[in-house]
């Protein structure tokens, strides 16, 4: 089983729509969780950390479900600029961050 | 000035060439990383340096040789590479904070091995 699994998508949504997707992780001892955003041919950039109580940053909401070992990302009121690949990242031990292969979101006008 | 600068942006090399990738971070971080990203695959951790000491070497072939002269600079020396080594190579840095490492990436080097 892969350490971090994501639905590759693509999720094609119209502007203004809400889109949500999950990421599952295999190590129940995982300590911290993040969402990164990667634009085509660019480097990944930290979007947000994911906290146990769930957290929001503008139109983005992240949730953690430790019992079922998944995290989620929800994007409200999608913008064209939200089109990107979203990488799920799990910290299992010290410096060993495990990356998912990414979920591609395409927002159309 | 960006936080993590990486050069070159693009590199084409033959299998017999020797080249080096360079990374510099201006964030005062104490850990630096090399990752490999192949198409449609997750980022693969190659090497980690923490306070200039190599703490991770993820079974990377010896044709990849890292060098970390100080906490701000990181190199990846390449020699006798194979076509399957063609990928995006990303440098990153972080402040070591057990369980909460947030990575800051350079813009990457798109490497093509002919």
Mean pLDDT by 10-residue block, N- to C-terminus, for chain A (109 residues)? 89 97 93 93 94 92 95 98 96 79 96
Exposed, middle or buried: residue B111 (CB in 10 Å: 0-12, 13-18, 19+)?
A: buried
Q: What residues in B contact A102, CB-CB < 8 Å?
A: 42
DSSP state letter for B6 = E
What local confidence, expressed as pLDDT, does residue B50 receive? 84
Q: What residues in B contact A88, CB-CB < 8 Å?
A: none
Mean pLDDT confidence for B47-75: 86
Exposed, middle or buried: residue A89 (CB in 10 Å: 0-12, 13-18, 19+)?
A: buried
Could you tell me if B15 and B84 are in contact, meaning their C-beta atoms sit under 8 angstroms apart?
Answer: no
Q: Which of B9, B42, B87 to mutate to test the interface with A (most CBs of A within 10 A)?
A: B42
Are residues B101 and A95, on separate chains, in Cβ contact within 8 Å? yes
Q: Which residue in B42, B100, B104 is closest to A99 by CB distance? A: B42
Confidence of residue B95 (pLDDT cuts 50, 70, 90): confident
Q: Which residue of B has its CA nearest to A8?
A: B40
Q: What residues in B contact A49, CB-CB < 8 Å?
A: 100, 102
Return d(Cα B54, Cα A76) in angstroms, integer. 42
Are residues A44 and B42, on separate chains, in Cβ contact within 8 Å? no
Q: Does A4 touch chain B (CB under 8 A)?
A: yes
- Report the DSSP beta bridge partners of residue A69: none
Give how far A5 is from chain B: nearest CA, Å: 10
What local confidence, expressed as pLDDT, does residue A54 receive? 87
Q: Does A72 touch chain B (CB under 8 A)?
A: no
Sign of CA dihedral A79, A85, A90, A94: negative
Bigger pLDDT: A102 vs B53: A102
Could you tell me if B26 and B109 are in contact, meaning their C-beta atoms sit under 8 angstroms apart?
Answer: no
Bigger pLDDT: A95 vs B3: B3
Mean pLDDT confidence for B28-49: 91
Average pLDDT score over chain B: 90
For the stretch B65-92, pLDDT in tens is 999 999 899 999 999 999 999 999 999 9
């Amino acid at each position: 089983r892969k350490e971090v699994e994501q639905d590759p998508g693509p999720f094609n949504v119209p502007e203004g729509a809400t889109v949500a997707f999950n990421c599952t992780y295999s190590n129940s001892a995982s300590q911290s969780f993040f969402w990164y955003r990667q634009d085509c041919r660019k480097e990944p950039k930290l979007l947000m950390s994911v906290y146990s109580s769930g957290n929001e940053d503008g139109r983005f909401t992240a949730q953690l479900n430790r019992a079922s070992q998944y995290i989620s990302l929800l994007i409200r009121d999608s913008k064209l600029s939200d089109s990107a690949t979203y990488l799920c990242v799990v910290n299992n031990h010290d410096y060993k961050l495990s990356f998912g292969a990414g979920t591609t979101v395409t927002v159309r006008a | 000035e960006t936080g993590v600068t990486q050069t070159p942006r693009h590199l084409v090399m033959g299998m017999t060439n020797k080249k080096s990738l360079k990374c510099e971070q201006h964030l005062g971080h104490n850990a630096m990383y090399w990752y490999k990203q192949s198409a449609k695959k997750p980022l693969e951790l190659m090497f980690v340096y923490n306070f200039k000491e190599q703490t991770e070497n993820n079974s990377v072939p010896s044709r990849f040789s890292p060098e970390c002269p100080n906490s701000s600079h990181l190199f990846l020396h390449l020699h006798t590479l194979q076509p399957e080594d063609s990928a995006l190579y990303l440098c990153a840095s972080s402040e070591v904070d057990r369980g909460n490492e947030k990575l800051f990436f350079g813009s990457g080097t798109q490497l093509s091995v002919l």
